[in-house]
């Protein structure tokens, strides 16, 4: 019971607390309602006062706004009026300053022109028939003309041809990178930088050009034409100066393959010194420079076979480089939408200049090849290779010009003409080699390498430098060229040339009275050809593609001529035949031995005298031929000598037994030695 009483007491206490709280909340709610009512009354009073104030202030506000708008209109009208007044006086105000020109301060000058341009626009739209429009237009046009004149003067003053040293360095670098040998510098150089105009000048020119072009005048394209023409003239002067510095002095150029007739002699030659033979001997021994082959007759000269060919190659490289740099410069000065038109003006004349120089060289080449100066082909091949390599870059540059397609056609026509002339020249060369009519007058008296042979092999060596180009020309069709086909075509050309040369040499050899000298002549020529193409690995590889047994064929030709040469000793060996001799010998036997020894002596001395005048320039071949003759002659002579020298067949032994085997060997080993004396 006590627990219940305690629980009831606790509940009653809680109830009393809650009632007290409810009473407190009721009192606070009453106070809040009173405050709310008081606030509503205050707000209603404030709203009433605002409504009364709005009705009082609003008319004043509207009136003030109207007055403000009127004031703004008056101010704007005054400003416009002042502008109109200024437009009427602007020409008189700026004209004296315009006549003075920019004086280097183009920005200030352009601000003066802006004032005139604004006046022109105003009168054109508001009073197009007024005298004021004519006045400001005249003043503006005069200012533009002065600006254009300053533009031209500034451009001309700073447009100088690229220095020759820079161009030469640029060409040397390009040729050395391409692996060419046209006077290229052997040391690697940094790419030269071409700065046509100072940066400050470029900035001023760009500002002026863009302002004039956008000045809304109808004929403002003149400034772009002027820019293109001045830069074109500068580029032309650069090319012309380089051409003049590279054009060789005028010299009479000796025919490279058309051999000058010599003084008529007997078929085997006379006693007159054979200068050309000595020169050829030096060629075979490597003692005569390549330049001597260009001149003919052993004379050393630095002239190229085709005058102007090398400089055309260089011009093509320089023009391509300069066109690139001119395009970059133009991009900095001329607005983009005018690039094609202006670039066409810049490059048209220089391209035509290059083509004209190329045409002149080709015309000269045609004349030279009609005179059988076939080393001209080497120069043409240099041009073909240079143009062919630069053709893609030219194409990309030319098609940035409005007339680029036409210029590209001209450029392609020059290349095509070069290729056609080179191709025809190569075919004519084989025909010439085969049918060369020079016979007696041009035969080397000592049987050495013929001038035609030495020059032909040098010519074929040059083909190696242009093997891909020669291969394309030989294939004689357009489109894709397989490298293997090109190489085989070059090899086929070389084989055809050597076949024609071999036929020519055999025909020439028939004009020698002495079969021995004819054999020496063919032996020298075949050996020279063989040693040349075996020394040049690439040449041998190319020819093997056309004729696998080319090397073996020439070894056979050389062996045949060595055998033919040895047959010239048959008469000498005929005196060494065996005799049956009694001891003591009979009178007839004595006479037979005398005839044998005497005949051998006479024949040996005659051979020695004759063959000392012959020449085998190749020391290896000369030593081999001498050793074979020693084996051929001295072995049977030694046997003959041992068998019969002890026989008592004469009282005057020195008259008949003049030579011991050692003496005979010494004489045989002095064959082809023009400095040896008779023993």
Residue of 604, 596, 601 lying closest to 577 (CA atoms)? 596
* Helix (H/G/I), strand (E/B), else coil: 258: coil
CB within 8 A of 76, min separation 6: which ones?
none
* Helix (H/G/I), strand (E/B), else coil: 296: coil
3-state helix, strand, coil in the chain (%, to 5): 75, 0, 25
DSSP conformational letter for 443:
S
* Helix (H/G/I), strand (E/B), else coil: 657: coil
Helix axes 376-398, 309-333, angle to 10 degrees: 10
Fold of 575-669: Monooxygenase (1.20.1280)
Residue of 318, 108, 351, 345 lying closest to 207 (CA atoms)? 108
- The answer to whether 462 and 376 have CB atoms below 8 angstroms apart is no
pLDDT of residue 86: 57
Distance, in Å, from the CA atom of 391 to the CA atom of 395, rounded to the nearest integer, reads: 6
Distances 334 to 109, 225, 446, 626 between C-alpha atoms, Å: 20, 11, 72, 79
Distance, in Å, from the CA atom of 112 to the CA atom of 93, rounded to the nearest integer, reads: 10
Residue bearing tokens 């003149």: 222
φ/ψ (deg, to 5) at 450: -70, 150
Distance, in Å, from the CA atom of 215 to the CA atom of 144, rounded to the nearest integer, reads: 9
Using CA of residue 81, residue 83, residue 87, residue 92, what is the dihedral sign? Answer: positive
Asked if residue 372 has a cis previous peptide bond (ω within 30° of 0), the answer is no
The CATH code belonging to domain 159-246+306-418 is 1.20.1280.170
- The answer to whether 361 and 312 have CB atoms below 8 angstroms apart is yes
φ/ψ (deg, to 5) at 188: -75, 130
pLDDT of residue 216: 55
* Helix (H/G/I), strand (E/B), else coil: 159: coil
pLDDT of residue 117: 79
- The answer to whether 162 and 313 have CB atoms below 8 angstroms apart is no
Q: Which parts of 448-586 fold into alpha helices (H)?
A: 451-465, 467-475, 483-509, 515-535, 537-546, 550-566, 570-574
pTM of the model: 0.71
List every span in the chain annotated with CATH 1.20.1280.170: 159-246+306-418, 575-669
DSSP conformational letter for 162:
P
pLDDT of residue 248: 59
Distances 486 to 245, 475, 499 between C-alpha atoms, Å: 37, 7, 20
Distance, in Å, from the CA atom of 187 to the CA atom of 208, rounded to the nearest integer, reads: 44
Residue of 208, 235, 201 lying closest to 222 (CA atoms)? 208
* Helix (H/G/I), strand (E/B), else coil: 549: coil
pLDDT of residue 439: 53
- The answer to whether 106 and 207 have CB atoms below 8 angstroms apart is yes
* Helix (H/G/I), strand (E/B), else coil: 179: coil
* Cα 671 from chain centroid (whole Å): 50
Distance, in Å, from the CA atom of 206 to the CA atom of 57, rounded to the nearest integer, reads: 61
Exposure string of 186-220, with b = 16+ CB inside 10 Å and e = fewer, is eeeeeebebebbeeebbebbeebbebbbebebeeb
Distances 524 to 288, 622, 655 between C-alpha atoms, Å: 17, 9, 37
Mean pLDDT, 10 residues at a time, the chain of 679 residues:
84 88 88 86 84 80 80 72 62 76 84 80 79 80 87 94 91 74 47 85 93 71 90 95 77 36 38 39 41 34 69 92 94 92 94 94 91 88 90 90 89 91 91 74 86 91 87 72 83 93 92 92 96 91 91 94 93 87 83 90 91 91 93 92 85 88 91 58
DSSP conformational letter for 369:
H
Distance, in Å, from the CA atom of 192 to the CA atom of 171, rounded to the nearest integer, reads: 10
- The answer to whether 189 and 169 have CB atoms below 8 angstroms apart is yes
| Four-point Cα dihedral 47, 52, 54, 59, nearest 10 | 170
Q: Which long-range contacts (CB under 8 A, 24 or more apart) does 159-166 make?
A: 159/196, 159/197, 159/230, 159/231, 159/233, 159/234, 160/234, 161/234, 161/237, 161/238, 161/241, 162/194, 162/196, 162/238, 162/322, 164/241, 164/242, 164/245, 166/192, 166/194
Asked if residue 584 has a cis previous peptide bond (ω within 30° of 0), the answer is yes
Residue of 339, 322, 345, 328 lying closest to 228 (CA atoms)? 345
- The answer to whether 137 and 121 have CB atoms below 8 angstroms apart is no
Structure tokens at 62: 């509207």
Distance, in Å, from the CA atom of 576 to the CA atom of 664, rounded to the nearest integer, reads: 13
Distance, in Å, from the CA atom of 226 to the CA atom of 209, rounded to the nearest integer, reads: 10
């Amino acid at each position: 019971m006590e627990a219940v009483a305690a629980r009831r007491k606790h509940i009653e206490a809680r109830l009393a607390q809650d009632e007290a709280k409810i009473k407190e909340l009721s009192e606070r709610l009453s106070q809040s309602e009173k405050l709310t009512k008081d606030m509503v009354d205050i707000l209603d009073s404030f709203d009433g006062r605002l409504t009364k104030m709005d009705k009082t202030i609003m008319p004043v506000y509207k009136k003030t706004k109207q007055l403000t708008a009127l004031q703004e209109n008056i101010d704007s009208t005054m400003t416009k009026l002042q502008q109109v007044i200024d437009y009427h006086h602007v020409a008189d105000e700026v004209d004296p300053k315009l006549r003075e020109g920019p004086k280097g301060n183009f920005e200030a000058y352009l601000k003066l022109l802006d004032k005139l341009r604004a006046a022109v626009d105003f009168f054109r739209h508001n009073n197009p028939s007024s005298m004021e429009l004519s006045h400001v237009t005249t003043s503006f046009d005069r200012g533009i003309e002065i600006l254009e004149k300053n533009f031209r003067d500034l451009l001309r003053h700073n447009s100088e041809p690229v220095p020759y040293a820079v161009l030469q360095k640029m060409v040397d670098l390009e040729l050395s990178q391409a692996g060419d040998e046209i006077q290229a510098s052997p040391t690697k150089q940094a790419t030269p930088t071409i700065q046509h105009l100072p940066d400050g000048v470029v900035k001023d020119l760009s500002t002026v050009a863009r302002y004039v072009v956008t000045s809304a005048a109808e004929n403002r394209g003149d400034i772009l034409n002027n820019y293109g023409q001045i830069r074109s003239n500068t580029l032309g002067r650069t090319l012309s100066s380089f051409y003049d510095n590279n054009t060789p002095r005028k010299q009479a150029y000796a025919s490279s393959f058309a051999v000058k007739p010599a003084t008529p002699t007997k078929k085997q030659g006379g006693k007159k010194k054979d200068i050309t033979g000595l020169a050829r001997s030096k060629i075979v021994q490597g003692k005569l420079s390549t330049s001597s082959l260009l001149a003919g007759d052993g004379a050393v000269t630095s002239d190229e076979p085709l005058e102007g060919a090398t400089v055309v190659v260089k011009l093509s490289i320089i023009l391509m480089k300069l066109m690139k740099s001119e395009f970059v410069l133009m991009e900095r000065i001329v607005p983009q939408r005018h690039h094609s038109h202006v670039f066409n003006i810049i490059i048209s004349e220089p391209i035509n200049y290059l083509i004209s120089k190329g045409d002149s060289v080709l015309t000269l080449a045609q004349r030279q090849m009609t005179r059988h100066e076939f080393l001209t082909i080497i120069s043409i091949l240099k041009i073909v290779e240079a143009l062919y390599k630069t053709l893609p870059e030219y194409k990309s540059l030319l098609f940035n010009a409005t007339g680029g397609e036409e210029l590209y056609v001209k450029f392609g026509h020059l290349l095509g003409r070069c290729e056609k002339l080179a191709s025809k020249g190569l075919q004519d060369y084989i025909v010439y080699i085969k049918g060369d009519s020079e016979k007696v007058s041009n035969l080397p008296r000592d049987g050495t390498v013929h001038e035609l042979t030495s020059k032909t092999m040098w010519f074929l060596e040059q083909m190696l430098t242009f093997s891909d180009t020669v291969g394309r020309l030989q294939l004689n069709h357009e489109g894709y060229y397989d490298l293997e086909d090109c190489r085989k075509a070059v090899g086929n050309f070389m084989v055809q040339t050597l076949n024609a040369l071999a036929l020519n040499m055999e025909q020439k050899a028939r004009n020698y009275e002495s079969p021995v000298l004819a054999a020496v002549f063919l032996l020298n020529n075949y050996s020279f050809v063989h040693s040349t193409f075996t020394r040049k690995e690439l040449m041998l590889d190319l020819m093997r593609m056309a004729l696998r047994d080319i090397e073996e064929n020439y070894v056979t030709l050389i062996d045949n001529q060595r055998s033919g040469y040895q047959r010239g000793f048959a008469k000498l060996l005929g005196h060494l035949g065996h005799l049956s001799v009694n001891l003591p010998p009979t009178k007839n036997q004595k006479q037979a031995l005398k005839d044998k020894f005497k005949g051998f002596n006479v024949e040996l001395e005659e051979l020695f005298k004759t063959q000392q005048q012959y020449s085998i320039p190749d020391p290896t071949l000369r030593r081999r031929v001498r050793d074979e003759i020693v084996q051929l002659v001295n072995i049977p002579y030694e046997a003959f000598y041992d068998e019969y020298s002890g026989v008592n067949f004469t009282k005057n032994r020195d008259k008949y037994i003049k030579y011991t085997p050692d003496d005979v060997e010494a004489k045989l080993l002095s064959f082809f030695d023009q400095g040896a004396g008779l023993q």
